[in-house]
Amino acid sequence: MSARHKLGGYRKMSELLKKEREIVIPGEILAQGMDFLPGENTYRENDNIYAKALGLVYVSGRVIKITSLSGPYVPMVGDRIIGKVIDITMTGWRIDTGTAYSGLLNVKDATTRFIKKGEDLSKIIAIGDYVIVMITQVTSQRLIDLAMREPGLKKITGGRIMKINSHKVPRIIGKQASMVNLLREKTGCEITVGQNGLVWVRGTPEGELKAEGAIKRIEERSHESGLTESMDAFLGGK
């Protein structure tokens, strides 16, 4: 989105640099030019409008605002989450997703292997196990359908589970997975970040502790710009 306006006899381009609902961090430039006006959680400096908070971009007419990321996690189709098995039914497993929504993982969506009628499903996934699953449907009755057949979706074995604020997940992952890849590289751990705020870390005991400390540090400093670079230094640089 762009427009032109006159300034001192010259025509200067105004341009919106972020998409609607794009996640931004403090200090990011949202728009250039005087055709746009700063709204909630934004400010102007010279010709640019900047973000003041971690949140989602919204544009209403000429006004740009940011809705701060706060409140409970809201499940969305396509999200990958980590959940705990709390019950086994005739057709699959009931998963605690850490939300007000109850998750259901059907046998046919959990494995490609043939399951005999009456087979003990606890031999496949037991109560208390954690799983990495994808949300395939969210109903108005607060039910979530889950699947576990794509690459990276599986029953978790070993390692540790930690809980973070779900709204800090984008910072733990980073743009184009830059932050989580840095964490994997510097700690030697396998790391999966669920959109619901559960994180699985598996590596050596020392690596797991290092990763957990780093993730907590990112969560605490999520409002800072240049966080990937500062975490690189914190974890020992190159």
Q: How confident is the model at residue 21 (pLDDT cuts 50, 70, 90)?
A: confident
- What's the pLDDT at 76? 87
State mean pLDDT over 166-195: 93
Q: How far apart are CA 176 and CA 183, in angstroms?
A: 14
How does pLDDT run across 108-162, given as a tens digit for each residue? 999 888 888 888 999 999 999 999 999 999 987 889 999 999 999 999 999 999 9
In the prediction, which pLDDT does 55 show? 84
Section 60-71 average pLDDT: 83
Q: What percent of the chain has pLDDT over 90?
A: 62
The pTM score is 0.73
Calpha distance 214→81 (Å, rounded): 21
Name the residue type at position 11.
R
CATH homologous superfamily for 80-155?
Nucleic acid-binding proteins (2.40.50.140)
What number is the average pLDDT over the span 159-173?
A: 92
Whether 2-68 shares its CATH topology with 80-155 is answered yes
In this structure, how many other beta carbons lie within 10 angstroms of the beta carbon of residue 130? 20
Cα separation, 63 vs 53, in Å, equals 16
Name the residue with tokens 């971690």: 54
Domain ranges of the chain: 2-68, 80-155, 160-234
Fold exhibited by the domain 160-234: Ribosomal Protein S8; Chain: A, domain 1 (3.30.1370)
- Give me the chain's average pLDDT, please: 89
* 145 compared with 23, residue with greater pLDDT: 145
pLDDT mean over 173-183: 92
CATH class given for the domain over 2-68: mainly beta
Integer Cα distance of 161 and 132 in angstroms:
11
pLDDT digits (tens, 9 = 90+) for 92-105: 999 999 888 889 99
Contacts of 68 (CB under 8 A, 6+ apart): 41, 53, 54, 55
Cα distances from 107 to residues 121, 179, 185, 224, in angstroms, run 8, 34, 35, 43
| pLDDT over threshold 80, residue 60 | yes
Q: Give the integer Cα–Cα distance in Å for 48 and 30.
A: 7
Q: How far apart are CA 219 and CA 128, in angstroms?
A: 27
How far apart CA 235 and CA 238 sit, in angstroms, is 9
